[in-house]
Amino acid sequence: MVEKAVNTLPFMKMHGLGNDFVVFDERAHGPLVTHALVIAMADRHCGVGYDQLVAIRNHATEDMELIFWNADGSIAGACGNATRCIAGWELARTGNVTLSIRTERGVLQATDAGGGKIEVNMGQPFLHWREVPLAQDVDTLHLPIEGDPVATGMGNPHCTFFVNDVASVDLETFGPLIEHHPLFPERTNVQVAQVLAPDRIRMRVWERGVGITLASGSSSCAVAVAASRRGLIGTVATLELDGGEIQIKILENGVHMTGAWAHMFDGQWRGAR
Protein backbone atom coordinates (compact mmCIF):
# COMPACT_ATOMS: atom_id res chain seq x y z
CA MET A 1 0.00 0.00 0.00
CA VAL A 2 1.34 3.39 -0.98
CA GLU A 3 1.05 5.86 1.87
CA LYS A 4 -0.62 9.13 0.99
CA ALA A 5 1.83 12.03 0.85
CA VAL A 6 1.49 14.47 3.72
CA ASN A 7 3.12 17.75 4.61
CA THR A 8 6.01 17.34 7.03
CA LEU A 9 8.00 19.80 9.10
CA PRO A 10 11.75 19.27 9.59
CA PHE A 11 13.03 19.52 13.16
CA MET A 12 16.08 18.70 15.26
CA LYS A 13 16.28 16.99 18.65
CA MET A 14 19.02 18.27 20.96
CA HIS A 15 19.91 18.02 24.63
CA GLY A 16 22.20 19.71 27.12
CA LEU A 17 22.98 17.32 29.98
CA GLY A 18 19.64 15.56 29.47
CA ASN A 19 17.63 18.80 29.33
CA ASP A 20 16.06 18.10 25.92
CA PHE A 21 14.71 20.26 23.12
CA VAL A 22 12.88 20.17 19.82
CA VAL A 23 14.28 22.83 17.49
CA PHE A 24 12.78 24.32 14.34
CA ASP A 25 15.03 26.36 12.06
CA GLU A 26 12.58 28.86 10.56
CA ARG A 27 15.18 31.00 8.81
CA ALA A 28 14.59 29.49 5.36
CA HIS A 29 10.95 28.45 5.76
CA GLY A 30 9.31 31.32 7.63
CA PRO A 31 7.12 30.74 10.72
CA LEU A 32 6.40 27.07 11.42
CA VAL A 33 5.61 26.89 15.12
CA THR A 34 2.02 27.17 16.33
CA HIS A 35 0.53 26.62 19.78
CA ALA A 36 -1.06 23.38 18.56
CA LEU A 37 2.33 22.17 17.35
CA VAL A 38 3.97 23.02 20.69
CA ILE A 39 1.37 21.01 22.62
CA ALA A 40 1.27 18.05 20.23
CA MET A 41 5.03 17.55 20.05
CA ALA A 42 5.46 17.86 23.83
CA ASP A 43 3.67 14.55 24.47
CA ARG A 44 6.39 11.98 25.16
CA HIS A 45 4.06 9.10 24.22
CA CYS A 46 2.15 10.40 21.20
CA GLY A 47 4.52 13.16 20.10
CA VAL A 48 8.29 13.59 20.37
CA GLY A 49 8.69 14.90 23.92
CA TYR A 50 10.86 17.73 25.13
CA ASP A 51 11.46 20.14 28.00
CA GLN A 52 11.47 23.17 25.68
CA LEU A 53 10.69 23.79 22.02
CA VAL A 54 12.75 26.42 20.21
CA ALA A 55 12.36 28.36 16.96
CA ILE A 56 15.44 29.79 15.24
CA ARG A 57 14.60 32.98 13.35
CA ASN A 58 16.47 35.56 11.31
CA HIS A 59 17.32 38.84 12.99
CA ALA A 60 18.21 42.20 11.46
CA THR A 61 21.30 42.89 13.57
CA GLU A 62 22.27 39.60 15.28
CA ASP A 63 23.29 36.22 13.86
CA MET A 64 19.96 34.70 14.89
CA GLU A 65 16.96 35.03 17.19
CA LEU A 66 15.65 32.29 19.49
CA ILE A 67 12.06 31.92 20.74
CA PHE A 68 11.40 29.39 23.55
CA TRP A 69 8.27 27.51 24.61
CA ASN A 70 7.82 25.28 27.66
CA ALA A 71 6.20 21.86 27.36
CA ASP A 72 2.88 23.23 28.66
CA GLY A 73 2.71 25.73 25.78
CA SER A 74 3.81 28.80 27.76
CA ILE A 75 6.56 31.11 26.53
CA ALA A 76 9.95 30.94 28.24
CA GLY A 77 12.02 34.11 28.27
CA ALA A 78 15.33 32.26 28.40
CA CYS A 79 16.74 28.76 28.15
CA GLY A 80 20.45 28.45 28.76
CA ASN A 81 20.92 24.82 27.74
CA ALA A 82 18.95 25.24 24.51
CA THR A 83 20.91 28.39 23.70
CA ARG A 84 24.15 26.49 24.26
CA CYS A 85 23.03 23.53 22.13
CA ILE A 86 21.86 25.65 19.20
CA ALA A 87 25.01 27.77 19.42
CA GLY A 88 27.15 24.62 19.32
CA TRP A 89 25.28 23.32 16.28
CA GLU A 90 25.45 26.67 14.44
CA LEU A 91 29.14 27.21 15.19
CA ALA A 92 29.95 23.67 14.01
CA ARG A 93 27.84 24.17 10.87
CA THR A 94 29.37 27.53 9.93
CA GLY A 95 32.91 27.06 11.22
CA ASN A 96 32.69 30.31 13.19
CA VAL A 97 33.93 30.62 16.77
CA THR A 98 31.51 33.27 18.10
CA LEU A 99 27.78 33.87 17.73
CA SER A 100 25.45 36.73 18.64
CA ILE A 101 21.95 35.58 19.65
CA ARG A 102 18.86 37.72 20.25
CA THR A 103 16.50 36.37 22.94
CA GLU A 104 13.69 37.94 24.95
CA ARG A 105 16.13 38.64 27.79
CA GLY A 106 18.58 40.43 25.47
CA VAL A 107 21.53 39.69 23.20
CA LEU A 108 23.63 36.71 24.30
CA GLN A 109 27.15 35.98 23.10
CA ALA A 110 28.24 32.37 22.54
CA THR A 111 31.80 31.12 22.04
CA ASP A 112 33.36 27.76 21.19
CA ALA A 113 35.16 26.83 24.43
CA GLY A 114 36.84 23.74 22.94
CA GLY A 115 36.53 20.15 24.03
CA GLY A 116 32.95 19.92 22.79
CA LYS A 117 31.80 22.70 25.11
CA ILE A 118 30.15 26.06 24.46
CA GLU A 119 30.35 29.17 26.64
CA VAL A 120 27.39 31.54 26.68
CA ASN A 121 27.29 34.92 28.38
CA MET A 122 23.76 34.79 29.80
CA GLY A 123 23.79 38.49 30.69
CA GLN A 124 23.44 40.32 33.97
CA PRO A 125 21.19 38.80 36.66
CA PHE A 126 18.08 40.72 37.70
CA LEU A 127 18.17 41.31 41.47
CA HIS A 128 15.48 43.95 42.00
CA TRP A 129 12.03 42.64 42.94
CA ARG A 130 10.33 44.30 39.95
CA GLU A 131 12.84 42.78 37.52
CA VAL A 132 12.56 39.16 38.72
CA PRO A 133 9.53 39.84 38.77
CA LEU A 134 7.89 39.53 42.19
CA ALA A 135 4.40 40.60 43.23
CA GLN A 136 5.58 43.00 45.94
CA ASP A 137 8.58 44.88 47.30
CA VAL A 138 10.61 42.34 49.29
CA ASP A 139 14.30 41.56 49.81
CA THR A 140 15.21 39.20 46.94
CA LEU A 141 18.11 37.81 48.99
CA HIS A 142 15.75 36.63 51.75
CA LEU A 143 12.23 35.99 50.50
CA PRO A 144 9.40 35.81 53.06
CA ILE A 145 8.84 32.12 52.23
CA GLU A 146 9.54 29.20 54.56
CA GLY A 147 13.04 27.96 53.82
CA ASP A 148 14.50 31.47 53.28
CA PRO A 149 14.98 31.22 49.48
CA VAL A 150 16.64 33.70 47.10
CA ALA A 151 14.93 35.20 44.03
CA THR A 152 16.94 35.82 40.86
CA GLY A 153 15.92 36.85 37.36
CA MET A 154 17.85 35.40 34.42
CA GLY A 155 15.25 36.18 31.77
CA ASN A 156 13.07 33.75 33.74
CA PRO A 157 12.21 34.04 37.45
CA HIS A 158 14.08 31.68 39.78
CA CYS A 159 13.61 30.72 43.42
CA THR A 160 16.60 29.00 45.07
CA PHE A 161 16.50 27.08 48.34
CA PHE A 162 19.75 26.13 50.06
CA VAL A 163 19.39 22.78 51.83
CA ASN A 164 21.58 20.25 53.63
CA ASP A 165 20.69 17.35 51.33
CA VAL A 166 19.09 17.85 47.90
CA ALA A 167 18.32 14.13 47.61
CA SER A 168 15.98 14.27 50.60
CA VAL A 169 13.70 16.92 49.04
CA ASP A 170 10.46 15.63 47.49
CA LEU A 171 10.80 17.88 44.46
CA GLU A 172 7.75 16.36 42.76
CA THR A 173 5.58 17.81 45.54
CA PHE A 174 7.66 20.81 46.57
CA GLY A 175 8.34 22.15 43.06
CA PRO A 176 4.78 22.93 41.93
CA LEU A 177 3.90 24.50 45.28
CA ILE A 178 6.67 27.06 44.90
CA GLU A 179 6.19 27.45 41.12
CA HIS A 180 2.68 28.77 41.78
CA HIS A 181 3.49 30.78 44.94
CA PRO A 182 1.58 34.11 44.89
CA LEU A 183 4.84 36.05 45.28
CA PHE A 184 5.68 35.06 41.67
CA PRO A 185 3.08 36.52 39.26
CA GLU A 186 4.67 34.76 36.26
CA ARG A 187 5.32 31.54 38.20
CA THR A 188 8.93 30.53 38.87
CA ASN A 189 11.60 27.96 38.29
CA VAL A 190 12.58 26.25 41.54
CA GLN A 191 15.99 24.97 42.60
CA VAL A 192 17.18 23.11 45.68
CA ALA A 193 20.92 23.55 46.14
CA GLN A 194 23.51 21.98 48.43
CA VAL A 195 26.87 23.75 48.74
CA LEU A 196 29.61 21.11 48.68
CA ALA A 197 32.64 23.44 48.59
CA PRO A 198 33.41 27.11 47.96
CA ASP A 199 33.44 26.31 44.23
CA ARG A 200 31.00 23.39 43.91
CA ILE A 201 27.22 23.04 44.32
CA ARG A 202 24.90 20.06 43.92
CA MET A 203 21.46 21.12 42.67
CA ARG A 204 18.13 19.82 41.40
CA VAL A 205 15.61 21.67 39.26
CA TRP A 206 11.86 22.07 38.91
CA GLU A 207 11.12 24.12 35.77
CA ARG A 208 7.90 26.09 35.49
CA GLY A 209 5.66 24.68 32.80
CA VAL A 210 7.76 21.51 32.56
CA GLY A 211 8.45 19.79 35.88
CA ILE A 212 11.62 18.06 37.07
CA THR A 213 14.42 18.36 34.51
CA LEU A 214 17.86 16.75 34.43
CA ALA A 215 19.53 20.13 33.95
CA SER A 216 18.85 23.83 33.41
CA GLY A 217 21.34 26.43 32.26
CA SER A 218 19.47 29.50 33.47
CA SER A 219 18.77 27.75 36.80
CA SER A 220 22.48 27.00 37.17
CA CYS A 221 23.26 30.67 36.63
CA ALA A 222 20.59 31.69 39.16
CA VAL A 223 21.87 29.26 41.80
CA ALA A 224 25.46 30.45 41.41
CA VAL A 225 24.38 34.10 41.66
CA ALA A 226 22.24 33.37 44.73
CA ALA A 227 25.04 31.43 46.43
CA SER A 228 27.58 34.15 45.67
CA ARG A 229 25.25 36.85 47.05
CA ARG A 230 24.89 34.80 50.23
CA GLY A 231 28.68 34.46 50.53
CA LEU A 232 28.52 30.68 50.14
CA ILE A 233 30.77 30.55 47.07
CA GLY A 234 33.01 32.90 45.14
CA THR A 235 32.45 33.95 41.53
CA VAL A 236 33.47 30.67 39.86
CA ALA A 237 31.78 27.35 40.53
CA THR A 238 30.88 23.96 39.09
CA LEU A 239 27.21 23.05 39.37
CA GLU A 240 26.38 19.34 39.62
CA LEU A 241 22.95 18.57 38.15
CA ASP A 242 21.18 15.25 37.64
CA GLY A 243 22.35 15.21 34.01
CA GLY A 244 25.93 16.41 34.45
CA GLU A 245 28.04 19.47 35.23
CA ILE A 246 27.92 23.13 34.17
CA GLN A 247 30.64 25.67 34.93
CA ILE A 248 29.51 29.17 35.94
CA LYS A 249 31.60 32.35 36.10
CA ILE A 250 30.09 35.56 37.46
CA LEU A 251 31.93 38.36 35.68
CA GLU A 252 31.42 42.11 35.34
CA ASN A 253 29.86 41.73 31.88
CA GLY A 254 27.46 38.94 32.84
CA VAL A 255 27.04 35.37 34.05
CA HIS A 256 28.98 32.97 31.85
CA MET A 257 27.80 29.37 31.49
CA THR A 258 29.98 26.63 29.95
CA GLY A 259 28.89 23.07 29.23
CA ALA A 260 28.46 20.24 26.77
CA TRP A 261 25.82 20.02 24.05
CA ALA A 262 24.39 17.30 21.82
CA HIS A 263 22.53 17.20 18.50
CA MET A 264 20.84 13.79 18.65
CA PHE A 265 18.89 13.48 15.42
CA ASP A 266 16.88 15.18 12.68
CA GLY A 267 13.23 14.31 12.14
CA GLN A 268 10.11 15.06 10.12
CA TRP A 269 6.93 15.96 12.02
CA ARG A 270 3.73 14.75 10.37
CA GLY A 271 1.20 15.59 13.06
CA ALA A 272 -0.92 18.62 13.91
CA ARG A 273 0.43 22.12 13.32
C-alpha distance across the termini of the chain, in Å: 26
Q: CA-CA distance, 184 to 216, in Å (whole number)?
A: 19
Q: CA-CA distance, 255 to 220, in Å (whole number)?
A: 10
Percent of the chain at pLDDT exceeding 70: 97
What pLDDT, on a 0 to 100 scale, did the predictor assign at position 7? 76
Domain ranges, ordered by start, for the chain: 9-122+260-269, 150-252
Ranking 76-80, 176-180, 191-195, 259-263 by mean pLDDT, the lowest is 76-80
Residue ranges in the chain assigned as alpha helix (H)? 35-42, 80-94, 171-179, 217-229
Residue 177 has pLDDT above 90, yes or no: yes
Q: CA-CA distance, 218 to 95, in Å (whole number)?
A: 26
Q: CA-CA distance, 223 to 91, in Å (whole number)?
A: 28
Banded pLDDT at 29 (limits 50, 70, 90): confident
Residue 2 has pLDDT above 70, yes or no: no
What pLDDT, on a 0 to 100 scale, did the predictor assign at position 5? 43
Q: What's phi and psi for 260, nearest 5 deg? A: -80, 165
Residue type, 114: G
Interval 157-172: pLDDT, tens = 999 999 999 999 999 9
Q: What's phi and psi for 64, nearest 5 deg? A: -165, 170
CATH of domain 150-252: 3.10.310.10
- 105 vs 110, more confident: 110
Record the pTM.
Answer: 0.94
Interval 45-67: pLDDT, tens = 999 999 999 999 999 999 999 99
User: Which homologous superfamily does the CATH classification assign to the domain defined by 9-122+260-269?
Assistant: Diaminopimelate Epimerase; Chain A, domain 1 (3.10.310.10)
Tell me which DSSP letter residue 39 carries.
Answer: H
Residue 251 has pLDDT above 70, yes or no: yes
Residue 6 has pLDDT above 90, yes or no: no
- Domains 9-122+260-269 and 150-252 alike in fold: yes
